[in-house]
Structure 1
Amino acid sequence: MSSPEGEASSVDVAYCVPGGQVFQSVYMQIHGYIALLICLLGSAANSVNIAVLSRKEMASSTNSILTGLAVADLLVMLDYIPFALHLYTNIGSQQNNNSYGWAVFIYFHSIFSQTFHTISIWLTITLAVWRFIAIKFPQKNRTLCNKRNTSIAIGLAYAVCPILCLPFFFVMNIQEVYRNKNVNETLNDTQIVNASTKKGPAYAVMMTKNEDLLTAIFWIYSVFIKLIPCVVLSILSVLLILKMKSSDRRRQKLLKKSVITTNEGDKTRFNDDSGGKRGAGRTDRTTRMLVALLGLFLATELPQALFGLLTAIAPHLFQICYYAFGEVMDLMALVGSAVNFVLYCSMSKQFRSTFTRLARKVLPLPRPTGEQLVPLKS
C-alpha cells in the first residue's frame, strides 16, 4: 500500500500516538512477569490435561482432539517462557540481546509460536464440527467421527498449518545493524539494540520493506488464520446452543408424555429417543463445556482478528499501532491456552474423577473406594 508519508503520519497520530506508546511503555514493565506466571501455570495445566485425557478410560474422539489441542497450547507456552524471560524481565541476561543467536531465536519464536497457535485454532474448529455432528446427526456420529477420521483430522492440522504459516518465513529476515555513539535508536521488540552496545555490529529481526508482500501476509494472518475461524466458530457455537435447547425442549415434551401415559411402548420409545436421563445429561454437559471452550476462544481471538484486519487494510499502522498493543495480544492468546484445565475441571465430572485417580497414584493421598468411569462419548 503506497500512501504518502505525510498522510500515513497523520493517520498514525490520529489513532495510536501518543496514547498507544504511553500504554506500551507502562505495560511492558509488568508484561514479562504476568506472561511468565501464566506460561508456568498453563504449562503445568496442559501437561495435566495431556496426562488425564490420554488415559485409557478417557478414550474418545472428543478427548483425542482435546489432547492434540493441549499439546499445541503447551508448546506455545514453553516457547514463550525464554522469550518473555529474556526480553521483558530483569531475570534473564540482557547482554546477548544483540547477538546473532538471539536474533535467530526471535526469528524461530515468531514462526514457531504462530504455527502452533494456528494448529490450536484449527483443532478447536475440528472439535466444534465433531460436536455438531454428534448432536445433529447422532446416527452418523460413529461413522463420521470415528477414531480413524479423528486421527486424520488431527494429523492434517499438524501438517497443513505449518504450510499455511509458511509465508511468515519470507516477511522477516535477520540483518546486521550498527549503533553509532551519537545515535539514539528506537526499535520494536524484534529489533532491539541494547543501549549498552558500543559502536559495532548487532543483529536484529527486521520486517520486509516490500509493502505488497507485507500486505499479503497481513491478509493471510487476519483473514485465513484469525477471522475465518472466528466466524466459523461463532456460527457453530450458535448452532450448538440452538440444537441443545431444541433437544431440551424435546426431552421435556417426551418426559411429560411418559408421565401421563400408561403405555409401556411409549415409555420404551421415550427412553430410546432421549438416550436415557444419564446419557442425555452427559451429552449436555459435554456440549456445554465445548460451547464454553468456544466462547473463551472467541473472546481471546476475535480482538486479534479485528486488529489484524485493520492492519491489513492499512499496513502503515503496523509499526505504530500493532506494536503498541502487541504484548496485550500475546497475553490474551496465552490466557486462552492456559485456562482449559479450569474449564474441564469445573464442567466435567469424568475429568475430575480421572484427575483425582491419577493424582492419587503420584501423590500420597488417601484412596477411597474407586469409582466406575464411563468414557466420554464424542
Structure 2
Amino acid sequence: MSSPEGEAGSGSDVAYCVPGGQVFQSVYVQFHGYIALVICLLGSVANSVNIAVLSRKEMASSTNSILTGLAVADLLVMIDYIPFAFLIYVKVGTELSRNSYAAAVFVYFHSIFSQTFHTVSIWLTITLAIWRYIAIKFPQMNRTFCNKRNTNIAITLAYAVSPVLCLPIYFAMNIEPVPGKSNTNSTLNYTSDTNVTFSRIEPASKFAIKMTTNGDLLTAIFWIYSVFIKLIPCIVLSILSVCLIVKMKSSDRRRQKLLKKSAITTNEGEKARLNEDGGKRGGGRTDRTTRMLLALLGLFLATELPQALFGLLTATAPHLFQVCYYTFGEVMDLMALVGSAINFVLYCSMSRQFRSTFTRLARKLLPLPRPNGEQLVPLKS
C-alpha cells in the first residue's frame, strides 16, 4: 500500500480528512476506550439476557432462533472488544507489554475474530429479513420453507461461511518487529593507535501490525470487505425493508376495507369484536413483529451503511486508507458496538411477549413476587 505522503502527497484527496479529521481523531481517541467499555459491558449483559429469554421453550419460533444466533454473535464481538479496549485505548500495563509480540498476536486475532462474528450478525440479519418477508408475503410457504430445520441450516451456514468470507483479512496483515535504535557509541581498540567505531542495532523488543505492501492484494481485500461484506447486505436489506413496508401498508388497507365492508351488515359493537378477533388471530401480533424487525433492520443500516461507503471509498482510492479510514475507525467501531448492544431495548419496547417472558425469568432468578395464571402464546414467524 502506498503511503499517504507518497501517493496522495498534498493533493486534494488529503484535504478531505486533514487536518480536521486528524484533530477530531486525536481528541476522540482519548475517550473512545472508556465509552466502548461501558457499551460493551452493558451490551454483554443485554445480549446474555436476549439469549436467555429467546431460547426459552415458550419463545420457540424460527424468528426467535435467528435472533438467538444473532445475540450470540453480538455477545462474542463485545466480549472480544473489552480486552482490546483495555490494551489499546485505556492502555493497561507497561508500554513494553502493550507492544510485545503477545499483544500483537492478540490484536491480530481481534481483527479477524471481531470481523468474522460481525459478518455472522450481518448475514443472520439478512436471513431474518428474508424469513419475515416470506411469512407475510407467502404465508402458505412459511411452514414449509421457514421451518425449524431450514432455520437451523441457515444459522449454521452463517457461522460456517463467514470465516471463509473473512479469510482474505488474514492475508492483509502481518506482525512485524519494530527495529531497535542504532547505538554508535561502542568503540573497539585493536591497537594503541587505531580505534574502530561500529554501529550496534539493539534487538527489537516491540512488534506492530503492518498492512501488506501488496497494493493489488490490498485493493482486492477492500473490494471484498466493502462490496460483499458490507454494501451488498445493505442493498439487500434496503430492498427487503421497502418490500416489508409496502406489504404492511397493503395489509392495513385490506384490513380497513374489510372493516368498512363489515360495517354495512353489522353494528358498531360487532365490528369492534371482529377487529379485536382479527388481532387475536395473529394479524396484530404479526404487524408488531414486522415493525420490530423493521426497526432492527433500520438500526443495522444506520450502523453498517457508513462503513460500506467508507470501505468502497478506500477500495477505489487505497491511499486514503491511512488518511481517512484510520481517522474515523474508532467512530465506526463505536457505531457497530451500539448497534449490537441496543437490541435488548428494541425487543423490550416493541415485543410484549419478550417483556412478559423476561419478567417471568427475572422473577425466577430474583426474589420478586410472581403472578399466578400468566400464560404466553409463542411468537410464530
SS at the partner of 2:213? Answer: coil
Listed one character per residue, the Cα deviations across residues 115-171 of structure 1 (whole Å, up to 9, x for unaligned) are 000000000000000000000000110001000000000000000111000111111
Distance 2:43 2:4 in 1: 45
2:233 corresponds to: 229
Distance 1:222 1:251 in 2: 42
Alignment of 1:157-168 (within 5 A): 157-168=158-169
Q: Which structure 1 residue ranges, 5 or more long, are not aligned? A: 183-197
1:312 is the counterpart of 2:330: no
Listed one character per residue, the Cα deviations across residues 13-68 of structure 1 (whole Å, up to 9, x for unaligned) are 32111111111110000000000000000000000000000000000000000000
SS at the partner of 1:315? Answer: coil
Q: Say if 2:91 and 2:98, in contact at 8 Å, map to a contact too.
A: no
Distance 2:332 2:3 in 1: 27
**1:258 positional shift:** 1.6
Alignment of 1:130-169 (within 5 A): 130-169=131-170
Higher mean C-alpha displacement, 169-178 vs 36-45: 169-178
* 1:26–1:365 CA distance, 2 compared to 1 (3 A): same
1:287 is the counterpart of 2:293: no
| RMSD (Å) for aligned C-alpha atoms | 2.2
Listed one character per residue, the Cα deviations across residues 263-302 of structure 1 (whole Å, up to 9, x for unaligned) are 9xxx9xx89xx98222111000000000000000000000
Q: Which structure 2 residue ranges, 5 or more long, are not aligned? A: 184-201
Which letter does structure 2 place at the counterpart of 1:35?
A: A
SS at the partner of 1:167? Answer: helix
* Identical-residue share of aligned pairs (%): 81
Q: Say if 1:181 and 1:199, in contact at 8 Å, map to a contact too.
A: no
2:375 corresponds to: 372
Tell me the matched-pair count.
Answer: 357
1:349 corresponds to: 352
Q: Say if 2:33 and 2:89, in contact at 8 Å, map to a contact too.
A: yes
Q: 1:329 aligns with which of 329, 332, 336?
A: 332
* 1:107–1:296 CA distance, 2 compared to 1 (3 A): same
Q: Say if 2:21 and 2:328, in contact at 8 Å, map to a contact too.
A: yes
**1:5 positional shift:** 6.0
**1:179 positional shift:** 3.9
**1:200 positional shift:** 3.7
**1:3 positional shift:** 10
1:60 corresponds to: 61
**1:370 positional shift:** 3.7
Distance 1:124 1:118 in 2: 10
2:218 corresponds to: 214
**1:259 positional shift:** 2.2
**1:255 positional shift:** 1.2
Which letter does structure 2 place at the counterpart of 1:173?
A: N
**1:87 positional shift:** 1.0
**1:95 positional shift:** 3.8
2:178 corresponds to: 177
Q: Say if 2:175 and 2:209, in contact at 8 Å, map to a contact too.
A: yes
Distance 2:303 2:4 in 1: 34
Which letter does structure 2 place at the counterpart of 1:180?
A: K
Which letter does structure 1 place at the counterpart of 2:90?
A: T
Q: Say if 2:4 and 2:320, in contact at 8 Å, map to a contact too.
A: no
**1:98 positional shift:** 1.3
Which letter does structure 2 place at the counterpart of 1:88?
A: Y
Instruction: Give the TM-score normalised by structure 2.
Output: 0.89
Which letter does structure 1 place at the counterpart of 2:326?
A: Y
Structure 1 residue runs of 4 or more that deviate by more than 3 Å after TM superposition: 1-7, 90-95
1:238 corresponds to: 242
* 1:343–1:262 CA distance, 2 compared to 1 (3 A): closer
Distance 1:181 1:23 in 2: 35
1:122 is the counterpart of 2:123: yes
SS at the partner of 2:207? Answer: strand
1:359 corresponds to: 362
* 1:15–1:262 CA distance, 2 compared to 1 (3 A): closer
Distance 2:180 2:39 in 1: 35
Q: Say if 1:72 and 1:120, in contact at 8 Å, map to a contact too.
A: yes
**1:261 positional shift:** 2.1
2:208 corresponds to: 204
1:110 corresponds to: 111
2:192 corresponds to: none
Which letter does structure 2 place at the counterpart of 1:358?
A: L
1:276 is the counterpart of 2:278: yes
Q: 2:255 aligns with which of 251, 259, 282?
A: 251
Q: Say if 2:4 and 2:323, in contact at 8 Å, map to a contact too.
A: no
SS at the partner of 1:45? Answer: helix
Alignment of 1:14-93 (within 5 A): 14-91=15-92
Q: Say if 1:62 and 1:130, in contact at 8 Å, map to a contact too.
A: yes
* 1:219–1:18 CA distance, 2 compared to 1 (3 A): same
Which letter does structure 2 place at the counterpart of 1:236?
A: L
Listed one character per residue, the Cα deviations across residues 310-353 of structure 1 (whole Å, up to 9, x for unaligned) are 00000000011110110001000000000000000000000000
1:193 corresponds to: none
Higher mean C-alpha displacement, 7-16 vs 116-125: 7-16
**1:369 positional shift:** 2.2
Instruction: Give the TM-score normalised by structure 1.
Output: 0.90
Which letter does structure 1 place at the counterpart of 2:110?
A: H
Which letter does structure 1 place at the counterpart of 2:278?
A: G
* 1:89–1:346 CA distance, 2 compared to 1 (3 A): same
SS at the partner of 1:174? Answer: strand
Distance 1:335 1:355 in 2: 22
